[in-house]
Structure 1
Amino acid sequence: MIRIAIVDDHPLIRDGVRGWCAAAEPRIEVIADHPDPAAFLSATGPDRGDLDAIVLDLQFDQRAPDLSALGTICTRGHRVVVYSQYTEPRLVRDCLDLGAVTYLSKTEGREHLITALHAAAEVRPYLSPTMARAMSTDGDDRPRLSRREREVLLAWFQTESKALVAQQLYITIGTVNTYLERIRAKYAAVGRSAPTKAALVARAIRDGLITTDDL
């Protein structure tokens, strides 16, 4: 059973996501919903480990998108699927940099959201159309990697296993896999797939992310 929480200030959205989840296969259980991030953070505490994913809106009470709340929730170790009406490429990329595992537009609907939640629960990425568009608007064919993604990538190049990367960076092997798959998704989105470690090394050197001396 996949278990999630919903954070959105519109009851209609919360009820709709609940209905989609109940009909999903495998079934997704919504064990909590909250009208804003403060309520979610207050209810869950810092170490709640029974949630596989969080569906998070960015706008509450008609204010501007709240990225600070997203950063806090991601820092607590939650796998966040952003579900927002906003589709500006820079905002999408900023959310991914803060740790969101997927960014979906609310116009993308049930199919994409359910698929993204299954992927999040299985610790693998899901490249939504909104993410693909955002990653392809940087002006060249170099994907925009976050600082943490670059750290994980370099550590993986310099070590013999993902377990050593996890130990070195104080994260889990599952998190290492998530970063690497997200990096691969970013390369695929700009038409430069890198399915192997050797291919990622070649891409990273060409893009100036690392040098041969780093290896």
Structure 2
Amino acid sequence: MNPTLGASPLRGETGDTPVRLAILDDHEVLLDALSTWIERNAPDFDVVLGAANWLDLVQSPAFPTDLVFIDLQLKEPISIEARVRTCRAAGAKVIVLSSLDTREARERAFAAGAAEFLSKSLPMASVMAAARRVMGIEAHDDDDAARAASTAPLQHVKPKLSPGEEEAFKLYVSGYSTVAVAERMNVQYETAKTYLRRVREKYAKVGRPAGKKAELIRRAAEDGYLE
């Protein structure tokens, strides 16, 4: 993914300038999924910068933005404190997103100056409701429930996958097509397709939708399959 996304023109019925948003996440498939969801569902935000590593973020001509979403668990040896403080010093507000939701992680993020710490298990509607609150944007009519949900991680059950289902799942959310998954696993196309169908069904049975690819990617991030 190109680390700098083209800024879009003013959007929304009011004609107000959307919040310039940057996203730092080293799982590029998830980065694309987040950007696409926001583009389609949150016209009051404009993802002008998507970065898979720290240097791509801070060296981009689009930086600083108004708000930055930062993944807590980057593979790079740069502390969350350093990342948050750098963004704050540049004038950007920060929301930390993480699949690791512990008291220590929250305290570190807030002590460094993060405006919010959110679990990746939250629905995107809840994440954006929190982002609007941080930026002082008037909430949408349907944001009340999402705002309440954003203050605590969503409890969820991780479905038990077979070895074949887990392997197909990891490959698929890493960017491989179903055909490519079958080739990598050395199985028939229909077998790979069945593995992925079963993964979706198992997530649905525990109340965690995964029918769409973007939803499946979020489930993978929540449960550590993209680590």
TM-score (norm 2): 0.49
Map residues 9-48 of structure 1 onto 2, 5 A cutoff. Answer: 9-44=26-61, 48=64
Structure 1 residue 61: Cα displacement: 2.3
Q: CA RMSD in A?
A: 2.7
Map residues 61-210 of structure 1 onto 2, 5 A cutoff. Answer: 61=75, 66-122=80-136, 128-130=150-152
More helix by proportion, 1 or 2?
1
Structure 1 residue 123: Cα displacement: 7.1
Number of aligned pairs? 127
1:42-61 deviation digits (Å, cap 9, x = unpaired): 11488x4xx22111112222
The AA in structure 2 aligned to 1:98 is: A
Contact 2:95 2:116 in 1 (8 A): yes
Gaps of 5+ in 2: 1-17, 139-146, 154-227
Contact 2:49 2:62 in 1 (8 A): no
Q: Aligned partners of 1:118 and 1:19: how far apart in 2? A: 18
TM-score (norm 1): 0.51
1:165-201 deviation digits (Å, cap 9, x = unpaired): xxxxxxxxxxxxxxxxxxxxxxxxxxxxxxxxxxxxx
Say which SS state the counterpart of residue 108 (structure 1) adopts: coil
Residue 175 of structure 2 corresponds to none
The AA in structure 1 aligned to 2:39 is: A
Percent identical among aligned pairs is 20
Contact 2:42 2:128 in 1 (8 A): no
Note closer, same or farther for the CA distance 1:130–1:37 as it changes in structure 2 (3 Å cut): farther
Q: Aligned partners of 1:39 and 1:25: how far apart in 2? A: 24
Gaps of 5+ in 1: 132-215
